[in-house]
Amino acid sequence: MKKTYQKAWFLVLPVLLLVAFNALIPMMTVVNYSVQETFGNNLFFWEGLGWFEKLLNSDRFHAALGRQFMFTGLILVIEVPLGIAIALAMPRQGIWVPFFLVTMALPMLIPWNVVGAMWNIFTLPDIGLLGYFMNHTLGIDYNMTQDPFAAWATIITMDVWHWTSLVVLLSYAGLVSIPDAYYQAAKIDGASKWAVFRYIQLPKMKQVLTIAILLRFMDSFNIYTEIFVLTGGGPGNSTTLLSIDLVKIALGQFDLGPAAAMSLIYFAITLLISWLFYTLMTKDDVK
């Protein structure tokens, strides 16, 4: 075999150490917990794959996972088309461009717990702007602390409000990078608006849309703060998504073993779906 220069490995070492300390080692402690049972006092008993088995067969986990898929599915189905539509409607040049860009970016600048608190107040039936308007002006019985449907409508709306901008900004970046000649050629070729979208705009946005969908998937699949602040998982367990359930098990019940097993399964699902998304969306890219 040809002798190669091996000293470059030393240059990678600092990064390796950093990653080890902030990801690999904490992760390994989770792996460690997931195969043991503890009753406090730092006493641990070997449990093997028992927690994994129990969790995968538990109705509670299935329900939380189902809610999680519903949440992520719904926000993707709403945010991606809506984001593209807004990006298409935004002006591509002129004095209004900065105004729209900043307006679009604003919701994303607000901290997650503040978003939760804002919407909490916003939806209060008697003093919240939205709550009052729905109940007293429109006469619709709307109380998200009591009605699961109202709670779901609220968390979906909140996420759409908070994160559609990300899809908008990424799609917009894809749109402005299309040279004018494409639109001119399409005009001359007699292409309809739909054909322009289908054959010029969508293909050119594909790269950034892949990133947008991936980011929105990961973020929404791991969402915790906003929903915890807004509904706390209620009413009942109706908005208890995976992360909320996980925190309940880990910090509420202090079941470290089951919580660790759930963390690992949660992580594996996120990773698997992200990989699937990415592979499917980039499979026919021209190298």
Partner 1 sequence: MARITLSQLRHSYLPNPKGPDDYVLKDIDLDWHDGGAYALLGPSGCGKSTLLNIISGLLAPSEGRILFDGKDVTDLPPEQRNIAQVFQFPVIYDTMTVYNNLAFPLRNRGVDEAVVKDRVTKIAEMLDVTEMLRKPAAGLSPDNKQKISMGRGLVRDDVNVVMFDEPLTVIDPHLKWTLRSKLKELHQKVRATMIYVTHDQTEALTFADQVVVMEDGQIVQIGTPVELFERPTHTFVGHFIGSPGMNILPCNVQNGQALFEGHTVVLEGPIEAGTVDQGAGLTQIGIRPEFITFGATGVPATVRKVADIGRHSVVDTVVGETLIKVIVEGAAPVQGAATHLRFDPSKTRLYRDGWIATQALEAAE
CB of 255 to partner 1, least distance (A): 51
| Interaction between residue 197 and partner 1 (CB under 8 A) | no
Interface mask (CB under 8 A) for partner 1, residues 132-171, using x and -? ----------------------------------------
Q: Of 109, 188, 279, 283, which lies in the binding site for partner 1, with binding defined by CB under 8 A?
A: 188
Q: Of 40, 48, 98, 190, which lies in the binding site for partner 1, with binding defined by CB under 8 A?
A: 190
Q: Of 187, 193, 254, 275, which lies in the binding site for partner 1, with binding defined by CB under 8 A?
A: 187
The residues in 232-261 that bind partner 1, with binding defined as CB under 8 A, are none
Picking from 262, 221, 71, the residue whose alpha carbon sits closest to that of residue 154 is 71
Nearer to partner 1, 60 or 193 (CB): 193
Span near partner 1 by CB under 8 A; candidates 33-41, 180-188, 228-236, 264-272? 180-188
Nearer to partner 1, 207 or 222 (CB): 207
The token duo for 166 is: 């990300």
| Interaction between residue 203 and partner 1 (CB under 8 A) | yes
| Interaction between residue 281 and partner 1 (CB under 8 A) | no
**Contacting positions for partner 1 (CB under 8 A):** 179, 181-182, 184-185, 187-192, 195, 199-200, 203-204, 286
